[in-house]
Chain A
């Protein structure tokens, strides 16, 4: 079946503009995660959705970052008033759920964001 997909694959924007990044998780996966991968860095957790529960936003670096998940499926990560330090690869992952035993996260190919 289809894996996690993300769009666009690449996004170049000017400083100060808003951007929206999209993630389509694997069908039936209730948990969805956003990470940021900066050059030479590991993955930085941003936000996590589990079913209809309130999202865990503890990883969002500033109030310019927000995310929503409509209908428990597709998710959009929005960055307002982009800054050059926002340049990174943004990765989305989904899993069956996160309760109890570990469920493998399946990652999308990422969106490479470049802020000029």
Chain B
């Protein structure tokens, strides 16, 4: 079955860069799906960060566009996200997900990233 697994540092210093990777298993990242990042601040709702297609340009949340970059590594069947100039407001659980355009139907378990000195 399709599985997604987030990984990366769980603690990032303010003004630093948050870098996460999502490894996909059970599906090829080159299929007709979009690969998505979503975050959830503690006790808050869901926020769409952006998405990427294996052969196209990524789409980003306008509020984060100046700080976020999403990329794909087809050789490793994974995709990644970098968020620069982080502050405490970027502390959240970060999820990766597959968007088949019939909805975000598979999600990783999420990774809590804390921004703190």
Report whether chain A binds chain B.
Answer: no
